[in-house]
Chain A
Amino acid sequence: MAFKNDGGFINNLGKIYGIYTAGFLAVVALVGLLEFLGVPNIVLGYIFIAFTVAVYAFIGIVARTGQVSEYYVAGRKVPAVYNGMATGADWMSAASFVGMAGTLYALGYDGLAFILGWTGGFVLMAVLLAPYLRKFGAYTVPDFLAARYGGTLARLFGVVVLMSCSFTYLVAQVYGTGLIASRFLGIPFDIAVYAALAGILVCSMLGGMRAVTWTQVAQYIVLVVAYLVPVVILSTQKYGVPLPQLMYGQALSDITAREQEMLQQGLATATDLRPYLTPFLSYDRANFFALILCLMVGTASLPHILMRYFTTPSVRDARKSVAWSLLFIFALYVTAPSYAAFAKLEVYNNVIGQSLDHLPQWVITYSNLDLVKIHGVSLHQLAGAVAAAGQALVTGAVDWTGVAQALQAKGLTEALAAWEALSDPLRQFVFDSVAHNPAITAPDLFRDAIKVAATAAGDASGVITNRSLTLDPDAIVLATPEIAGLPYVIAGLVAAGGLAAALSTADGLLLAIANALSHDIYYKMVDPQAPTARRLIVSRAFLVVVAILAAFVASTHPGDILAMVSWAFSLAAAGLFPALVMGVWWKRANKWGAVSGMAAGLLVTLYYLFGTRYYAVGFYELWSGLSGASADDIQKYQSLKAAFEGAAPELRAAAWTALDAHAQTIANWFGIKNISSAIFGLPLGFLTLVVVSLATRRPSPAMADFIDDVRRPRGKELMEGGRLLRDLR
Chain B
Amino acid sequence: MSDEQGRAHWAATRKLMGVMLALWALVSFFIHLPVASLNQVVLLGFPLGYWLAAQGSLIIFVALLFWFARRQDAIDRAHGFAEDE
Residues in A neighbouring B45, C-beta threshold 8 A: 248-253
Residues in B neighbouring A120, C-beta threshold 8 A: 24, 27-28, 57, 61
CA distance A269 to B35 in the complex (A): 25
Cβ proximity bits A219-251 to B, threshold 8 Å, 1 near / 0 not = 000000000000000000000000001101111
Residues in A neighbouring B78, C-beta threshold 8 A: none
CA distance A293 to B25 in the complex (A): 10
Task: Decide: B69 and A319 in contact? CB cutoff 8 A.
Answer: yes
Q: Find A292's partner among B10, B29, B65 (CB 8 Å cutoff).
A: B29
Cβ proximity bits A295-336 to B, threshold 8 Å, 1 near / 0 not = 010000000000000000011100110110011001001100
Known: A127-B20, A289-B29, A713-B81. A279 touches B35 (CB 8 A): yes
Task: Decide: A713 and B76 in contact? CB cutoff 8 A.
Answer: yes
Q: Find A279's partner among B46, B49, B66 (CB 8 Å cutoff).
A: B49
B41 on interface, CB distance cutoff 8 Å = no
Residues in A neighbouring B58, C-beta threshold 8 A: 115-116, 119, 330, 333-334
Q: Find B10's partner among A279, A333, A711 (CB 8 Å cutoff).
A: A711
Known: A120-B28, A127-B21. A714 touches B81 (CB 8 A): yes
CA distance A729 to B34 in the complex (A): 52
A708 on interface, CB distance cutoff 8 Å = yes
Task: Decide: A330 and B9 in contact? CB cutoff 8 A.
Answer: no
CA distance A251 to B54 in the complex (A): 14
CA distance A296 to B54 in the complex (A): 16
Residues in B neighbouring A314, C-beta threshold 8 A: 83
Residues in B neighbouring A563, C-beta threshold 8 A: none
Residues in A neighbouring B53, C-beta threshold 8 A: 109, 112, 115-116
A16 on interface, CB distance cutoff 8 Å = no
B2 on interface, CB distance cutoff 8 Å = no
Known: A253-B42, A334-B58. A128 touches B83 (CB 8 A): no
Task: Decide: A712 and B9 in contact? CB cutoff 8 A.
Answer: yes
Task: Decide: B29 and A323 in contact? CB cutoff 8 A.
Answer: no
Q: How far is the CB of A178 from chain B (nearest CB, A)?
A: 32
CA distance A540 to B13 in the complex (A): 40
Task: Decide: A277 and B47 in contact? CB cutoff 8 A.
Answer: yes
Q: Find B6's partner among A245, A279, A708 (CB 8 Å cutoff).
A: A708
Residues in B neighbouring A246, C-beta threshold 8 A: 44
Residues in A neighbouring B36, C-beta threshold 8 A: 279
Q: Describe A's contact surface by its main secondary structure.
A: helix
Residues in A neighbouring B55, C-beta threshold 8 A: 245, 334, 337
Q: Find B68's partner among A116, A126, A296 (CB 8 Å cutoff).
A: A126
CA distance A334 to B57 in the complex (A): 10
Interface size class of B (residues with CB under 8 A): 35 or more
Q: How far is the CB of B28 from chain A (nearest CB, A)?
A: 5
A144 on interface, CB distance cutoff 8 Å = no
| Minimal Cβ-Cβ distance residue in B for A338 | B54
Cβ proximity bits B8-42 to A, threshold 8 Å, 1 near / 0 not = 01100100010011001001110010011001001
Q: How far is the CB of A495 from chain B (nearest CB, A)?
A: 26
Cβ proximity bits A90-134 to B, threshold 8 Å, 1 near / 0 not = 000000000000000000010010011001101110111001000
Interface size class of A (residues with CB under 8 A): 35 or more
CA distance A128 to B13 in the complex (A): 11
Residues in A neighbouring B21, C-beta threshold 8 A: 127
| Minimal Cβ-Cβ distance residue in A for B73 | A316
Task: Decide: A713 and B46 in contact? CB cutoff 8 A.
Answer: no
Residues in A neighbouring B81, C-beta threshold 8 A: 712-714
CA distance A126 to B72 in the complex (A): 11
Task: Decide: B27 and A316 in contact? CB cutoff 8 A.
Answer: no
CA distance A567 to B17 in the complex (A): 28
Residues in B neighbouring A127, C-beta threshold 8 A: 17, 20-21, 24, 68
CA distance A320 to B43 in the complex (A): 33
Q: How far is the CB of B43 from chain A (nearest CB, A)?
A: 7
CA distance A126 to B61 in the complex (A): 11
Q: How far is the CB of B11 from chain A (nearest CB, A)?
A: 11
Q: How far is the CB of B83 from chain A (nearest CB, A)?
A: 5
Q: How far is the CB of A679 from chain B (nearest CB, A)?
A: 13
Residues in B neighbouring A320, C-beta threshold 8 A: 66, 69
| Minimal Cβ-Cβ distance residue in A for B71 | A319
Q: How far is the CB of B13 from chain A (nearest CB, A)?
A: 7
Of B10, B27, B43, B83, which is in contact with the most chain A CB atoms at under 10 Å from its CB? B83
Of B42, B46, B59, which is in contact with the most chain A CB atoms at under 10 Å from its CB? B46
Residues in B neighbouring A322, C-beta threshold 8 A: 65, 69
Q: How far is the CB of B15 from chain A (nearest CB, A)?
A: 12
CA distance A245 to B54 in the complex (A): 10
Task: Decide: B76 and A326 in contact? CB cutoff 8 A.
Answer: no
Q: How far is the CB of B44 from chain A (nearest CB, A)?
A: 4
CA distance A316 to B66 in the complex (A): 11
CA distance A140 to B20 in the complex (A): 27
CA distance A314 to B54 in the complex (A): 33
Residues in B neighbouring A315, C-beta threshold 8 A: 83
Nearest 4 pairs between A and B by C-beta? A249-B45, A323-B65, A112-B53, A249-B46
Residues of B that sit less than 8 Å from A by CB = 6, 9-10, 13, 17, 20-21, 24, 27-29, 32, 35-36, 39, 42-47, 49-51, 53-55, 57-59, 61-62, 64-66, 68-69, 72-73, 76, 80-84
Known: A109-B50, A326-B65, A714-B76. 19 other contacts (CB 8 A): A109-B53, A112-B53, A112-B54, A115-B53, A120-B27, A122-B65, A123-B61, A123-B64, A249-B43, A249-B44, A279-B49, A316-B82, A319-B73, A320-B69, A323-B62, A330-B62, A337-B55, A708-B6, A713-B82
Enumerate 22 A-B pairs (CB-CB under 8 Å) in ascending A order: A116-B32, A116-B58, A119-B57, A122-B61, A123-B24, A123-B64, A126-B68, A127-B21, A245-B55, A246-B44, A249-B44, A253-B42, A279-B35, A293-B29, A316-B83, A327-B62, A330-B58, A337-B55, A712-B6, A712-B76, A713-B83, A714-B82
